[in-house]
Structure 1
C-alpha cells in the first residue's frame, strides 16, 4: 500500500489506475486476514483492475501497444474451483523465488531509468489511453460493499441498502439513501451516498446532507455522513467539523463512540490539571493551548518544547484532561525508537494507573487496552494482523481518538504517511526542534503557518527560567574529515605514512574524499586528537579527577569500534571499561546502557550510533562530542538535548550541574545556516569562516572571537 502512494509512482500514474490498485490491495488484505471467500464479482473486478494497470504499463513502455478491452467471457466457467493448502504452499514458494528474481531485475532496471523515462515520454505523446468507466451499481456492489464488509458491517442486519426516506425537497418528498448504517439501538449512525468511480465524491455531498436531515427528522438522531465514489471517501461530522477525507467508512463501535460523544464531551471552560503530573506554568499553558485549539474545531496540534522540559509529562496530563472531559477513549502513542516506546508506556502507567496500556512491541498488556504504544512499523503491521475476539479487524480507521507523535518531523510523515492516511483521529505532535527550524512540510501536515505551532517553550526560555543547563560550545575544524586527503598536498613524511597504510599489492588512491573519512577510512591522528581534547578539557567530576558522563556521536558502528580501540590504546589504565560502544549492533547493549545510566558505574563514555541520539534521559551527562556530520536540524536538536538536563549535587554537595560542554568537529553551520545565535547567556555561538566558534562574551559585551583551531596533523589511516 505504501508503494502505491510513493510520490515517484503517483507523479506519472493516472489516478484511476491508482484507485484500481487500491481496490486490489484492499481485497487481498480482506481475503488474507479474514479467511472469508472473495465473491465472484469482487474477483472479476480485481482482475479487470489489474488488466487496466498492465494495459497502462504497456501504453507507457510497450513496443507494440494497442488498446484492448477486458473480456470477462474468457474467464473459466468453473467458479467453484478451490486451491488446496498444499498447492497454496507450493505457489507461495514459487512466488518467493519470483520475488528474488524481481529484486535482481529491479537492480538491472536502475541502470535503465533514463531509457525508460524517454520511452514513457515518447509513447505517451504518440498514443492515447482512456480508462474504462465503471457503472454506479458496479461501484456500490463491489468496492463500497468490500469496505463495509471489512469494517464488520452485515448487510440487511445493521447495514441497509436503498433505505426509503421522507422529507426530501421534491414533489413527492420521498427518496432512497444508498446506504444507512445502524447502531445496536437500531438508530441511524451514518448515511452513505455513493457515486460512480469517475465522479468526484463531492458530487454527493449535498445529497448526503439532505438524507441526513431526513433521517434526523424520522428518528430523532442525526446520522454522521459519508460520501464516496468507492475509491475516495469523505467523512462529515457536520455538527463539529468540515468534511475530511478518510481511508474508509468506520466500524459500528467507532461510529457509536462518535455519536455518543455529542452528549458526553464537556467544554474546557473549567479546566483542571492534575498538579501531581504537571505543576509547571509552561506545561499548563501548553495543555490549555491544545484544548483551546481542539475546542475551536482544529484536529491537529503541535507542541514545540525543548528537550528536558517534560514533553511526555505534558502530554500525559493532556490525555488525562481529554479523558476526564469525554473527548477521547482510545489513544495511540507513536515513537521511532523501541526505548522511547518503553519509556512512554512506563510514564503513562506511573501517572495514569487506571488507564489500561499495551506496548505492542512486547505485548505487555491486552491489545484492546485504551492506550497503545508502538513504533511506526509495528502499528503498520498490526493494522492487518491484530483481530478482536470475533475475528474482526481491531485497529479500524476510527479506532483511535487521539494519536500522539513523539518527535514529529518531516521524515516521519514522509516515510509513514500511510499510517496517517489510514487512522482518523485528533493528532498531537511533540518536537524539541526550535519553531523556526521546524520544516515547512511539518507545519503543512499540522495545517499551520510556518513558525506558528500551537505552543512553543524553547531552550532559551527554559534556560532563562532555570529549567535547563547552559552549554559551552567548542568547535574545531578538522582538515581531513572536512576536506579529505589529497596525496599531492601531503608532506613527504605524511606521504610515507599514507603509503604504509596500504598493502604492498595495493595502489594508494590519489584522493580520499571527506565522505569516505570515518566511513571507509579512519584517520588515527584525528581520532586521538578528539579523544585527548575530551580527556584533557572535558567537564570533570570528583574534584576534577574523573571525566563526567559523555556521549560521542559516531558515524557508523565500525567508526564507533575504531574510536573505542584508539581510546584503549591511549588510556590502557582504564582496562577497556571507561569508554564503550553502545548501539544496537552490540549484543548486550541494554546492560551497557543501564550501567552508563548509573552514575556510580562505568562506562563514563558512551560511543554511539543513533541509539543515544534521542530519548535517553541521563541527567549526569556533561560532555557531548559530535564526531560526525548531522544533516537534519531536527536530529541535531534531539542530540543537543542529551546534555540539557540539570543535575543536583553532581559536583558535590550544593554544586549542581548548570552547564555542559558541546564539542563540534566539522562545518556545522553549513548544515544549519538558519540556526540562531544564542545571546541570552554567557557562551554564545558566532559564525566565522563557515564554522561555529566559541564566543566567550555575552551579547553586547566587548571582546572578539576565538579563532578556529584547525588540526593539520596526520599520522596515518586505519581502513575498514
Structure 2
C-alpha cells in the first residue's frame, strides 16, 4: 500500500473530507480509509488518486456482497463478476454504471499503460467515487442525507505525471484482505439479512441521484478511457469530431473515427444521433460509412454508443448487437482482412484425416452452412465417444480455410480437459499456432487457437497486455468461441466471458436434445428446444457400430440408496448446482444431495471388500480369463486409496501394479493413464477421482463401477461414455469389443430415470 499522507490541507491545517460521512459506521473503515487517501493524493499525484479511487470502488462492492444477503453471490468471486452481477446492477441508480465503470477502466489504464492523468480526469474519478459511496451509505444507513461534493475541500498541487508506474501496478494488483466472501457472509448470516432488509426499507438508496452534469461529463470521457484500454491513441489512430474532407459542398463531422496507421478509416461510431434513438444513430453512421467508402474504396465498420453501452451494426444481417467495449485496432484490421478474403460461394474444405466418419463430416457441413448464413450460436448434440474433438477441429479447419474466422477460443470446464484438448489439437491441426493458457503463454498474442477454462480466460482478459500495455483480449480478439461441453451451469461459469467476446459461439452437448434441463441450454443458444444445429443420437451410433452397448448390474442395497430426489424433479437452481459437479470436484454443497448414511456405507471396509470380490467374480474378462480393463469411480481420494489398499491386501497375487488410485495430485498421472490405456500393461483397475471420468479415450475399458453418487447428468453421460468406445480385435483377431459391463452401487440410473 502507498504510504499514507498527513491529514492536512494546503495551508497545513487539519481538513474536512468529502468522505467524512463514511465514518458513521466502523464497518466502512477500509473503504473510508482508502477513499480519504485517494482524496489526499489529489494534492500530490493524480495517477495515485485514480488508483486509490478504483480500489475504494472494489472495496465497496466486496463489502456489499459480504454484508447483504439480498445480493446473489456469484460462484466465482472475481471483481468483474461482482460488478456485473444482475441483482446488484438493477439496484444502482440511473447513470451509476457509467461512474463505476469509468473509475474501474481509468484505474486499469493507469496501472497497465502507465498513462499520465489530468486534473480533470482525477477530479471526475473522485466525484464518481463520492456518488457511489453516498449511494452505499444511503442503502444501509437510517435517515441518510447525501451532501454535494465540495471541490473546495480538495488539496492542491497534484501532478499529472505517472512517476512510478510499477508501484501503481503493484498497488492495483494488491490482494484484498479477508479472503473469500461466501464464508464471511455465512458467518454473519443474521446481520447480512438485516442489512438486506434495511436496504429495502431505504428503497435501495433511492435518495441518492447521479448529478446530471457528472453523468454527462463521465459519459463524454468514458469513451476516451475505454479506447485507451483497447490500445487506441487520441490524435494518432482515434479522432473525435473528425471531418470527412472531399465529401461535396458540406464537410460532415464524424463523432468518433478509428483508423489504421495510414489514417485510413476502419470504423465510425455515432454518439450524438444515437442519443435520440438507435435508428437515428444507424442512419447517421451509415451516411458517414458510405462517404468514406466512396473516398477510400472500402467501407468502415459501424458502431453506436448509447445508453451506457456500445452496439455493433452487422450490415450483412442488418442486426444491431450489443458489444462489451471498444474493439482494438488489431481486431478491426483482422476482421477487415478476412472480410476481403471471404468467399461467400466457397464450399467448406472437409479434412477427411480429421473428420473421418460420415456423421462428423455432416456436422461440419451444417456448422459451416449456418455460419455462412449469419447464424452466430450453434449447438451440436452427440453422445460421448463420437469424436467431439474431431468435429470441433474439423469445423475450425474448414472455417479458417474459408476465411470465415481468424482466431478461436476453446473453453473447457476443467484444467485436465483443457490440456487434453490442446494435445489432441496439436496432432489434428499441426500447422495451427496453439496456446494453452494453463501452460506456456509466451506466444498467446500470435495464437490461432487459445485453450482455457472460463476462469483462466477471465483472468487473462483482466491481466494480459500487449507490449504497449493495452488489453490483449479486447471483445474482437476471437471470431469463434467453442464450448467443450454445454450444460446448465455454463450460465455461471461462462456467461461473463461469452457476453464479453463478440464471437460466433459453437457448443457441444453429450446429452440427447430431450434430456431434462436441455431446454435451458437451447434457450441459451437461441435455439428451439430439441432442435440443435446437428444431432447424432446414441441409437444411431450403436446402430452404425461406432459405439458399443452395455449390460447393467444394479448392486445398490435396498433403502439407503433410493434417491429422495430425481434429476427430472430438480428445480432450475438445484439443477445448476448439480451440474457444477461437472466443472468442480466437491462443488455439491446443497443439503439436497448429502445423505450421511450413503457416505457411511460407501466408506465401509466391508462394503468395499464385497464390491471388489463381486467385480472379480462378475466383471468381464480377457480371453485368458483375467479381469478386463476396469474403472472404479470413487467419491474422493480417501475412498480411492482405501479401495486400492484393501484390494492389494486381499489379493497380493495380482501384484502391486494391478490397481491404482488416481486423482489430480497423482505425481505420475500422465504415465499411469498411459499404462492403463495399454493392453499389455499390468495396470488393470484404475480407481478414478475425477480423472478418467471425462475426456480420456481408452477403448479397451470393459468394466465401469459406479461406487459414488453422481448428480450432474452431463458428467454421468461422460462417465458412462468411458466404456462405449468401440475397440477392434480386443479379444483377438476379428473379435471386436461388443459390450461392456456397468455396476451401479448408488442408484445413479434411478436418479436420472435411465432404463436399461
Distance 1:65 1:521, change over 3 A: farther
Aligned residues: 646
Please, what is the CA RMSD of the aligned residues?
A: 3.3
Task: Please give the per-residue CA displacement for 1:163-214, whole angstroms capped at 9, x wherever unaligned.
Answer: 2358999xx9654221111123432111112259998867734433333334
Aligned runs of 1:48-67 on 2, under 5 Å?
A: 48-67=127-146
User: Alignment partner of 1:603: what SS?
Assistant: coil
* Aligned counterparts of 1:36 and 1:228: Cα–Cα separation in 2: 24
Is it true that 1:411 corresponds to 2:489 in the alignment?
yes
Is it true that 1:534 corresponds to 2:611 in the alignment?
no
1:634 corresponds to which of 714, 720, 725: 714
Task: Please give the per-residue CA displacement for 1:322-361, whole angstroms capped at 9, x wherever unaligned.
Answer: 1111112212222223333233223333233222222222
2:513 corresponds to which of 431, 435, 442: 435
Aligned runs of 1:615-694 on 2, under 5 Å?
A: 615-668=695-748, 671-673=751-753, 675=754, 677=755, 685=756
Aligned runs of 1:410-559 on 2, under 5 Å?
A: 410-437=488-515, 439-479=518-558, 481-482=560-561, 514-515=595-596, 517-518=598-599, 522-543=603-624, 545-559=625-639
* Aligned counterparts of 2:94 and 2:743: Cα–Cα separation in 1: 50
Task: Please give the per-residue CA displacement for 1:113-170, whole angstroms capped at 9, x wherever unaligned.
Answer: 322222122221896343333468624542111111111112122111112358999x
Task: Please give the per-residue CA displacement for 1:280-311, whole angstroms capped at 9, x wherever unaligned.
Answer: 21111101111111111111211112221111
445-454 or 157-166, which deviates more? 157-166
* Aligned counterparts of 2:290 and 2:138: Cα–Cα separation in 1: 47
Distance 1:481 1:268, change over 3 A: farther
* Aligned counterparts of 2:273 and 2:83: Cα–Cα separation in 1: 22
Quote how far apart the aligned CAs of 1:613 are.
1.5
Distance 1:202 1:605, change over 3 A: farther
Q: Is the 8 A contact 1:194 1:230 kept in 2?
A: no
Q: Is the 8 A contact 2:313 2:319 kept in 1?
A: yes
User: Alignment partner of 1:440: what SS?
Assistant: helix
Q: Is the 8 A contact 2:348 2:399 kept in 1?
A: no
Task: Please give the per-residue CA displacement for 1:221-248, whole angstroms capped at 9, x wherever unaligned.
Answer: 3221111147311111313451111111
* Aligned counterparts of 2:683 and 2:717: Cα–Cα separation in 1: 24
User: Alignment partner of 2:550: what SS?
Assistant: strand
Query: Where does residue 651 of structure 2 map in the other structure?
Result: 571
Distance 1:659 1:44, change over 3 A: farther
Q: Is the 8 A contact 1:409 1:431 kept in 2?
A: yes
Distance 1:11 1:559, change over 3 A: farther
Aligned runs of 1:299-314 on 2, under 5 Å?
A: 299-314=376-391
User: Alignment partner of 1:245: what SS?
Assistant: strand
* Aligned counterparts of 1:263 and 1:84: Cα–Cα separation in 2: 44
Quote how far apart the aligned CAs of 1:644 are.
0.9
Q: Is the 8 A contact 2:679 2:700 kept in 1?
A: yes
* Aligned counterparts of 1:175 and 1:565: Cα–Cα separation in 2: 80
Q: Is the 8 A contact 1:482 1:514 kept in 2?
A: no
Is it true that 1:113 corresponds to 2:192 in the alignment?
yes
Is it true that 1:263 corresponds to 2:375 in the alignment?
no
* Aligned counterparts of 2:279 and 2:686: Cα–Cα separation in 1: 57
390-399 or 281-290, which deviates more? 390-399
Query: Where does residue 378 of structure 1 map in the other structure?
Result: 456
* Aligned counterparts of 2:187 and 2:161: Cα–Cα separation in 1: 37
* Aligned counterparts of 2:98 and 2:360: Cα–Cα separation in 1: 44
Query: Where does residue 288 of structure 2 map in the other structure?
Result: 211
Query: Where does residue 154 of structure 1 map in the other structure?
Result: 233
Is it true that 1:357 corresponds to 2:434 in the alignment?
yes
Query: 5+ unaligned residues in a row in structure 2: which ranges?
Result: 1-79, 564-592
Distance 1:195 1:301, change over 3 A: same
Query: Where does residue 314 of structure 2 map in the other structure?
Result: 237
1:294 corresponds to which of 371, 380, 396: 371
189-198 or 371-380, which deviates more? 189-198
Query: Where does residue 664 of structure 2 map in the other structure?
Result: 584
Query: Where does residue 35 of structure 1 map in the other structure?
Result: 114
* Aligned counterparts of 1:358 and 1:433: Cα–Cα separation in 2: 29
* Aligned counterparts of 1:554 and 1:223: Cα–Cα separation in 2: 57
Distance 1:241 1:477, change over 3 A: farther
Q: Please, what TM-score do these two structures have when normalized by structure 1?
A: 0.82
Quote how far apart the aligned CAs of 1:513 are.
7.3
* Aligned counterparts of 2:405 and 2:654: Cα–Cα separation in 1: 54
Quote how far apart the aligned CAs of 1:563 are.
2.4
Quote how far apart the aligned CAs of 1:51 are.
2.3
Query: 5+ unaligned residues in a row in structure 1: which ranges?
Result: 485-511, 678-684, 686-720
Is it true that 1:46 corresponds to 2:125 in the alignment?
yes
221-230 or 289-298, which deviates more? 221-230
Q: Is the 8 A contact 1:136 1:195 kept in 2?
A: no
Query: Where does residue 228 of structure 1 map in the other structure?
Result: 305
User: Alignment partner of 2:354: what SS?
Assistant: coil
Q: Is the 8 A contact 1:151 1:250 kept in 2?
A: yes
Is it true that 1:182 corresponds to 2:182 in the alignment?
no
2:330 corresponds to which of 253, 257, 262: 253
Quote how far apart the aligned CAs of 1:373 are.
2.0
Q: Is the 8 A contact 1:626 1:665 kept in 2?
A: yes
Distance 1:104 1:598, change over 3 A: closer
101-110 or 657-666, which deviates more? 101-110
User: Alignment partner of 2:212: what SS?
Assistant: coil
53-62 or 522-531, which deviates more? 522-531
Distance 1:111 1:180, change over 3 A: same
* Aligned counterparts of 1:337 and 1:188: Cα–Cα separation in 2: 42
Distance 1:65 1:458, change over 3 A: same
Query: Where does residue 77 of structure 1 map in the other structure?
Result: 156
Query: Where does residue 362 of structure 2 map in the other structure?
Result: 285
* Aligned counterparts of 1:429 and 1:185: Cα–Cα separation in 2: 39
465-474 or 29-38, which deviates more? 29-38
Quote how far apart the aligned CAs of 1:107 are.
4.8
Quote how far apart the aligned CAs of 1:590 are.
2.8
Q: Please, what TM-score do these two structures have when normalized by structure 2?
A: 0.78
* Aligned counterparts of 2:407 and 2:173: Cα–Cα separation in 1: 42
Distance 1:293 1:55, change over 3 A: same
Structure with greater proportional helix content: 2
User: Alignment partner of 2:239: what SS?
Assistant: strand
Q: Is the 8 A contact 1:143 1:230 kept in 2?
A: no
Query: Where does residue 17 of structure 2 map in the other structure?
Result: none
Q: Is the 8 A contact 2:636 2:689 kept in 1?
A: yes
* Aligned counterparts of 1:202 and 1:49: Cα–Cα separation in 2: 31
1:131 corresponds to which of 207, 210, 214: 210
* Aligned counterparts of 1:319 and 1:101: Cα–Cα separation in 2: 39
